[in-house]
Amino acid sequence: MRRQNQLALWMLAMLLLLSACASGTNTAEQSNTSGTDQSTPAEPVTEGNTNDAAGAPLEPIELTIFKYGGVTLTQTEVATYFKPVEEKFPHITIKLLDIPEGDPIEPLITAGTIPDLIFGGNYAELKEKDLVEDLTPLKEKFGYDESRLKPEVVSAIHQSSEGNQFPFSINLPVIYVNKDIFDRFNEPYINEVKTWDEILDIASRLTRTDGGVDYIGIDLSPTRLGSGLSLDIIDPATGEAAVTNESWSKVFQTLEKLYAIPGFVKGDDYRHDDKDDVFYVDQNLALYSHNLAQLVGPLEELRQQGVTLNWDFAPHPNFEEALGSSIEINVHRFAITKGGQHQEEAYQVLNELLSDEVQRLVSRNGRVSVLNDPALEAEYGADIEVLKGKTIENIFKADPRTLNAENEYERKISKHLGEAAKDLAIGGVDVNTALRTAEERINKDLQTLKNTQ
């Protein structure tokens, strides 16, 4: 009997031992599948944390930004918008590369200095140069909530960059009004959306010489007018020029009316808005169709220098059939550079730029937020002194239009529409001839560009 009891106890002990081993094996397997082994990528850094998952101090990182394609971004803006980001990720600092406007990125890449982020740029060009990293794996790892974005922003990012650029702000078009010129000639201010014909009627009354100064009502470019109807310069189906049609004829007939205003064309002088500073330096242009990002900053800098201008906003006009819309949406965006050393950190920084805190700073400091939140529009420009007292609501009375598909050659051949406008203004040609010549020039350049790829 005693021997039987000893045998039973021995068998019980063995069962307990086997059970413990099995439990340990399962625990180890669960640990491996939970992502805590060394082969699994690290989790995102949490707010204010300066240590990694293992408790070791995070290595300080400097992320650099390259401005591409003439977009506006200042050192002051970087310091303002990225301050909350650097507070969330204390081991990361963000630096805007001090490179002259318009300098190419290729010499940097060749020299081994690869910027982490590219701000701006035509995606087709960036892709052609193999500069953009595919964001799909980073989005899957760290998340991306596009449901918070304005629908037109989502559409633009997917359509123009295959989702591989990160939205930051919207650069809305608006009409800047020199109120002194309006007051001088007793012209009422503009606070309602108007057609281009109505605007030209007003401009004709403001284009005159007075007190030795040549005043110009408004100047317009063919590409800006064409964008109001979402016109293609290059047919996406054929890859050839598409400017000899009824819609482009309407654009050039509008330019023809502008050039016919007495005093607008003087000899060979027909361009009056071909530089950003014309509105606040020459101060003889009554209405200036331009974008927010290009002018609000300089106007604030002038205010800080003691230079005051009597100006305001008017809603952006369009043709009758497109009234209430402005031009194709212009989303300022970031890309992560292919070959960059800190792509995961760069992605987390970009994701943080879409936080409520940063986008509120964006709106209050003179850029339009990409978030679908009307409250942010109500706060637009609240921290910019030069915008206080301005008719801010006029900025949002015309909605941006859906973006056309970008073409990698478009920026290289759009100059021919400008040449056609010149032919119309001072070359003595008619609309049909100007457009037919432009189409021939565009197709010739397209053939050369395609042959030299």
Report yes or no on 86 lying in a domain: yes
Tokens matching residue 209: 């010489």
149 and 179 together in one domain: no
275 and 395 together in one domain: yes
Report yes or no on 354 lying in a domain: yes
pTM value? Answer: 0.82
221 and 123 together in one domain: no
CATH number of the domain to which 85 belongs: 3.40.190.10
CB 316 within 8 A of CB 177: no
Report yes or no on 414 lying in a domain: no
111 and 190 together in one domain: no
How many structural domains compose the chain? 2
Pick from 250, 332, 338: nearest CA to 292: 332
Report yes or no on 378 lying in a domain: no
Report yes or no on 51 lying in a domain: no
DSSP string of 384-425, one letter each residue = -GGGTTS-GGGGGSSEEEPPPPP-TTHHHHTHHHHHHHHHHH
153 and 222 together in one domain: no
Q: How far is CA 242 from CA 247, 321, 323, 430, 442, in A?
A: 10, 20, 23, 18, 9
154 and 93 together in one domain: yes
CB 290 within 8 A of CB 276: yes
251 and 270 together in one domain: yes
315 and 180 together in one domain: yes
Q: Which domain holds residue 281?
A: 173-232+243-329+388-402
Alpha carbons 153 and 135: distance in angstroms, whole number: 17
Q: Is the dihedral of CA 187, 205, 388, 283 positive or negative?
A: negative
Tell me the pLDDT of the chain (453 aa) as tens digits: 443 444 344 444 443 433 443 444 333 333 333 333 333 334 455 555 556 555 667 899 999 999 997 788 888 899 999 999 999 999 999 999 988 877 888 888 888 889 999 999 888 888 888 999 999 999 999 999 999 999 999 999 998 888 999 999 999 999 999 999 999 999 999 999 999 999 999 999 999 999 999 999 999 999 999 999 999 999 999 999 999 999 999 999 999 999 999 999 999 999 999 888 899 999 999 999 999 988 898 899 999 999 989 999 999 999 999 999 999 999 999 999 999 999 999 999 999 999 999 999 999 999 999 999 999 999 999 999 999 999 999 999 999 998 887 788 988 999 999 999 999 999 999 999 999 999 999 999 999 999 886
177 and 298 together in one domain: yes
Report yes or no on 21 lying in a domain: no
Report yes or no on 16 lying in a domain: no
Alpha carbons 417 and 439: distance in angstroms, whole number: 9
118 and 128 together in one domain: yes
131 and 222 together in one domain: no
> Assign residue 172 a region: left if phi > 0, alpha if psi is -120 to 50, beta otherwise?
beta
177 and 278 together in one domain: yes
Q: Within 10 Å of residue 358's Cβ, how many Cβ atoms?
A: 21
Q: What is the dihedral of CA 333, 99, 92, 365, to 10 degrees?
A: -50
**Block residue for tokens 């509105």:** 279
